[in-house]
Structure 1
């Protein structure tokens, strides 16, 4: 038995109601918001980033080749099998890149500059096939003294694997616009 699709909710004027996380572009037309605004990124806010990301052999191979890190623990299955890990360990720069990328959509989608990655720690190895989930906590924020119209934020980023083991933590500092709506309008974003 086939059921009819549920119609979209409509406003009194007959237009489609605006979904959360989108902005109205025209009647019945919406654009995804990328990056939260400075005022939304309050100290203490924790964002769980989705979707998770399963690390593939291709991720690791391309990352090691791109960075030039061809240590056999990351590239040679026979060598890695004889280590205490018993298999290839994903290169730390690959893990860092994947996790930092997972955070962008919400925390820094409108960033104008990344200013620093600090205190990076890799307390548990990542293996091909692990699924990572990331979260960001806003630690500090302030208006930029040298860049009017921008705010400086620092977030603590944590990544867990599918067994809830902490595999990466670091602090990330970046600039975001104080008025994200103006930036979205100017850049048609």
Structure 2
């Protein structure tokens, strides 16, 4: 009888040792599988956000890399410019389009953020189409060229520093005076 108890105890001991080895193996396999899954997810995320600057892919706010925000807008602008040139068969200089569009966005029309490239592309397309329909695009580009060749731009600024600084101070002073007058009239 004692031998039977001893044999039974030995069998249970062997079974429990064998089972614990299997549990350890299963846990090791599960952790290695979960590590592989997280690594593949991280790699796919990194691959997803790596979009080269010369790519024609347009992205939305939900799938862009925040470190890539400038190039996202540039890509959207290039795509809009390409569509515009194709649609209107525009053969003249297109280098200053971005300057003209930026000035319009700053002064007279609020444009979408460059990070939301789909909306920004639509705004750029709308502005360029409107300028072309109203025969104002060529005039706007010529004005920008004149401004760039003016006495207070680029290399010419250093030559005419005193004059340019005085002009900008005078413009600022006039704007402040106009703003104060508007506020007084409202009160």
After TM superposition, is the score higher than 0.5?
no
> Which structure's residues are more often helix, by fraction?
2
Give the TM-score band, short-chain normalised: under 0.3
Q: TM-score, normalised by structure 1?
A: 0.26
TM-score by length of 2: 0.26
Max Rg structure: 2
